[in-house]
Amino acid sequence: MTSTDSAIAYEQHAEEFLHARDGSVIGIEVLQTWCASLSPDAEVLELACGGGLPVTRILQNAGLRGWAIDSSPTLLAQFQQRFPTITVECARVQDSLFFSRSFDAVLAIGLLFLLKEADQVDLIRRVAVHLKIGGRFLFTAPTQRCEWTDATTGIVSYSLGQEAYAACLQSLGLSLIHRFVDEGGNHYYEAQRLV
């Protein structure tokens, strides 16, 4: 039986995830556009980095300075082989101290909806605390409020919906400034810390 904890589930399915994600080109254009909008030397935190492909490679090719967190030892070992100069932490995002520093940008692709609603709100709050003023937060989630079963792990995923995400961001001093949709139908929310 598959665990309902996404951290455990992704470790159990690490090889399957790597096989599916490493060759994927979905979302590359959105991420390249987003990276180009940041300062060339921006310090970026990647939450749930997985094996690093294709996202970390895009960040690195844009000249951004990265930090990365993932809860799966298997995925993080693969990440470190590919990107040995990036500082990493093996931890659940709910437990991480985010390196006790601030960032110009934070990225959470394919993560937020794997968490329960309270954990999603808490993670957004913690991201807001770790963003510099003017800093940007990019994450993915469906625009409608819904639940579904994650194809990789079999765990239940939750989207709070666009209105709830926008309200949550605003309550935490973040403004929703852009939304993107990639060729796979994935929705990206970009927020900025205003104060």
CATH number of the domain enclosing 71: 3.40.50.150
* pLDDT at residue 195 is higher than 80: yes
Q: Which one is predicted more confidently, 21 or 41? A: 41
Q: Decide: 54 and 86 in contact? Cβ < 8 Å.
A: no
Q: State the CB neighbour count (10 A cutoff) for residue 18.
A: 19
Q: Is residue 170 part of a domain?
A: yes
What percent of the chain shows pLDDT beyond 70?
98
pTM, to two decimals: 0.94
Name the packing angle between helices 14-22 and 73-82 (round to 10°).
40
* pLDDT at residue 3 is higher than 70: no
Q: Is residue 176 part of a domain?
A: yes
> What are 9's strand-pairing partners?
none
**Domains in the chain: how many in total?**
1
Q: State the CB neighbour count (10 A cutoff) for residue 96.
A: 18
pLDDT value at position 22? 83
pLDDT value at position 152? 77
Q: Is residue 1 part of a domain?
A: no
Q: Is residue 178 part of a domain?
A: yes
Residue 25 sits in which domain range? 6-193
Once rounded to an integer, what is the mean pLDDT over residues 60-86? 97
Q: Is residue 130 part of a domain?
A: yes
> Which uninterrupted H or E stretch holds 166?
helix 162-171
Q: Is residue 90 part of a domain?
A: yes
Q: What pLDDT, in 10s, does the model give residues 128-180?
A: 999 999 999 999 999 999 999 988 788 899 999 999 999 999 999 999 999 99
Q: Where are the beta strands (DSSP E) in 59-172?
A: 65-70, 87-90, 103-108, 131-140, 146-149, 156-159
